[in-house]
Amino acid sequence: MSGFFGAISNNDIINDVYYGTDYNSHLGTKRAGMVFYNVHDGFRRSIHSLENAYFRSKFKSNLSSFSGNQGMGVISDTDPQPILFNSHLGRFAITTVCRMVNIVELEKHFLNKKKHFTGDFEGNVNPTEMVANLICEEDDFISGIENVFEKIKGSCSILILTPGRIIAARDKLGRTPIIIGKKEGAYAAASETTSFPNIGYETEYFMGPGEIIEMTPDGYKTIRKKNDKMQICSFLWVYYGYPPSYYEGINVEHCRYRCGAALARRDQVEADLVAGIPDSGVGHAIGYSNERGIPYERPYSKYTPTWPRSFMPQSQEMRDLVAKMKLVPIKSLIEDKRMIFCDDSIVRGTQLKDNTIDLRKAGAKEIHMRIACPPLTFPCNYLNFSQSRSTLELASRMAINQLEGGEKHLEEYADPKSDKYRAMVEQIAKNLGIDSLMYQDLEDLVEAIGLPKEQLCTHCWDATSHY
């Protein structure tokens, strides 16, 4: 995934954008950028790699070269951005949270019209440049953004910086969020409400799917009304979101408590303690512990000073190394204990398998895994979740292949009431070396989030969502 932050004010906005963007760091670890505008210097931009350092340390030295009362920043796990564009719509800067399944077809569309691309993203067209080109096919920003919504397959939320205003456009189905924040004399648009409190903003408005808003120092207004249909990514609450964040007015941490409690109500296994795989498994484990009255303990400590998240590094070797090195077991809390572990999901299972080996070495008597979402069975076409992994590497698909000798009967395996589903879960547990495994029922997850199912994207679990 990725996250962005943009702000406009009557006063200098550099620190707001710097710190506001930093509060999206949990959404990405690959690249980041900031851009500012003032009438004397025009647009000033900086982009850095984050693969060997954190956002604040990378950009701190740039702050003295920036000035202006409007700007935006992005933490990206994909293309280098923001990009600067000069067009018949004027000069503008643009940043996106975007996934394009059909980017190759769109590239051919423009090349056939004798257009060209200057940006590069791992040997391909820069997706944000593609979005800018789609916008510039039309006569104004609203029509251009609607052109993006119509032509891309996937998802796309956008921030555009033009002299005197910021335009925010949420994905047409709202798969990724944009929230408006306000403080005296300033307005901001962000992927995360976490960006707001510590820099003095209050959450003002949750943008709707397909809605376009124009912000100036004096306020904001809707310039395209929201669409009726929404399918926001459910995984925002399960994994992506930082605990203080709110999406659609629903807090991430409270949702995770409800997820853990729902798992606990279905469970009867006896245990001495409940624990969460840090970080996103912790909220689920607390909810489970509170519901069943089994003590919550921390037999794993996450070493955060030097080891970043294991989810996003593109090298599989590095993902595996980070997953192994960042969690340190505490033997005195593990030895001879029956343990229930909660986690947000199982993707490939590499980290959980390594955890299990460590726990067995430390003397764990029983290991029971409880997962806060259903089995991930279908590839995500809408965000960059598991983008670098083959579908065949998913723990569920590996188990199905072991049972079937191929990828067959996927709909049956996605049905928690079927014998095939139970056989798949047992096979995953066997592959991981754990004593038992339970996944969340989709109905319980939907209830824990608190939105109607038709307003949620659940594609990776049941393949029901659409472009």
Question: 413 near 424, Cβ under 8 Å?
Answer: yes
Provide the CATH number for the domain formed by 254-451 in this structure: 3.40.50.2020
**CB of 263 within 8 A of CB of 290?**
no
Q: How confident is the model at residue 278 (pLDDT cuts 50, 70, 90)?
A: confident
Measured between alpha carbons, how far is residue 331 from residues 126, 341, 365, 366 in Å? 48, 15, 12, 14
Q: Report the distance separating Cα 172 and Cα 314, nearest Å.
A: 28
| Contact between residue 255 and residue 451 where contact means Cβ atoms under 8 Å apart | no
pLDDT in tens, 354-396: 889 999 999 999 999 999 999 999 888 888 665 445 677 899 9
Per-residue confidence band for 327, with pLDDT thresholds at 50, 70 and 90: confident
> Residue 388 in 3-state DSSP?
coil
- What are the residues facing 164 on neighbouring strands? none
Distance of CA 281 to the CA centre of its chain: 15
Q: What confidence score (pLDDT) does residue 311 get?
A: 47
Of the pLDDT bands very low, low, confident and very high (cuts 50, 70, 90), residue 316 is low
Q: What does the mean pLDDT of the chain come to? A: 92
List, for residues 193-252, the tens digit of each pLDDT value: 999 999 999 999 999 999 999 999 999 999 999 999 999 999 999 999 999 999 999 999
Is the preceding peptide bond at 313 cis, omega within 30 degrees of 0?
no
- Domain residue ranges of the chain, discontinuous segments joined by +: 3-230, 254-451
CB 34 within 8 A of CB 17: yes
Q: Which fold has domain 3-230?
A: Glutamine Phosphoribosylpyrophosphate, subunit 1, domain 1 (3.60.20)
| Residue 320: both structure tokens together | 């595996």
Which residues on neighbouring strands pair with residue 411, listed in sequence order?
Answer: none
Contacts of 412 (CB under 8 A, 6+ apart): 418, 420, 421
- Helix, strand or coil, per DSSP, at residue 40: coil
Reading phi first (left if > 0) and then psi (alpha if -120 to 50, else beta), residue 242 is in beta
Q: 436 is written with which tokens?
A: 């038992």
Residue 388 has a pLDDT of 43
- pLDDT tens digit sequence for 73-102: 999 988 899 999 999 999 999 999 999 999
Q: What is the pLDDT of residues 422-462, one digit of tens each?
A: 999 999 999 999 999 999 999 999 999 999 999 999 999 99
pLDDT tens-digit map of 260-276: 999 999 999 999 999 99
Q: What is the pLDDT of residue 77?
A: 82
| Mean pLDDT, rounded, for 154-179 | 97
